[in-house]
Structure 1
Amino acid sequence: MKRKILEAVNFIVKNNLVKGTWGNVSLKYGELIYITPSGVPYNVLKEEDVSVVKIDGTHVSGLKPSSELPTHLEIYNSREDVNAIVHTHPVFSTTVSLITSYIPPLVEDAVMILGPKINVAEYALPGTNKLAQNVVRALGNNHAVILKNHGLITVGSDLNEALTASLVCEKTAEIFLYALNIGNFNVINDKDASILRNKYLNSYRQIRKDVR
Structure 2
Amino acid sequence: MKEEILRAVRFIVENGLVKGTWGNVSIRDKDYVYITPSGIPYDKLKEEMISVVDFNGRLIDGLKPSSELPTHLEIYKNRKDVNAIVHTHPVFSTTVSVVSSEIPPLIEDAVMILGPEIKVSEYALPGSIELAKNVVDALSDNNAVILKNHGLITVGFDIDEALTASLVCEKTAEIYLYTLNIGNFSTISYEDAVILRNKYLNGYRQIKKDIG
Q: Same fold (TM over 0.5)?
A: yes
Q: For each residue in 1:180-200, what CA deviation from the matched residue of structure 2 results, as whole angstroms up to 9, or x when unmatched?
A: 001110000011111000000
Instruction: Give the equivalent residue in structure 2 for 1:176.
Output: 176
Deviation at residue 55 of structure 1 after TM alignment: 1.2
> What are the within-5 Å matches in structure 2 for residues 178-193 of structure 1?
178-193=178-193
> What runs of 5+ residues in structure 1 fail to find an aligned partner?
none
Deviation at residue 204 of structure 1 after TM alignment: 1.1
Instruction: Give the equivalent residue in structure 2 for 1:135.
Output: 135
Instruction: Give the equivalent residue in structure 1 for 2:109.
Output: 109
Percent identity among equivalent residues? 72
Instruction: Give the equivalent residue in structure 2 for 1:200.
Output: 200
Deviation at residue 11 of structure 1 after TM alignment: 0.2
Q: SS at the partner of 1:17?
A: coil
Count of residues paired in the alignment: 212
AA aligned opposite 2:114: L
Deviation at residue 210 of structure 1 after TM alignment: 2.7
Q: For each residue in 1:27-73, what CA deviation from the matched residue of structure 2 results, as whole angstroms up to 9, or x when unmatched?
A: 00000000000000000100000000001111101000000000000
Q: For each residue in 1:106-146, what CA deviation from the matched residue of structure 2 results, as whole angstroms up to 9, or x when unmatched?
A: 00000000000000000000000000000000000000000
AA aligned opposite 2:161: E
Distance 1:7 1:113 in 2: 21
Q: For each residue in 1:138-197, what CA deviation from the matched residue of structure 2 results, as whole angstroms up to 9, or x when unmatched?
A: 000000000000000000000000000000000000000000001110000011111000
Instruction: Give the equivalent residue in structure 1 for 2:19.
Output: 19
> What are the within-5 Å matches in structure 2 for residues 91-110 of structure 1?
91-110=91-110
Instruction: Give the equivalent residue in structure 2 for 1:10.
Output: 10
> What runs of 5+ residues in structure 2 fail to find an aligned partner?
none
AA aligned opposite 2:77: N
TM-score (norm 2): 0.99
Instruction: Give the equivalent residue in structure 2 for 1:68.
Output: 68
Distance 2:9 2:35 in 1: 11
Distance 2:178 2:45 in 1: 36
Deviation at residue 208 of structure 1 after TM alignment: 2.1
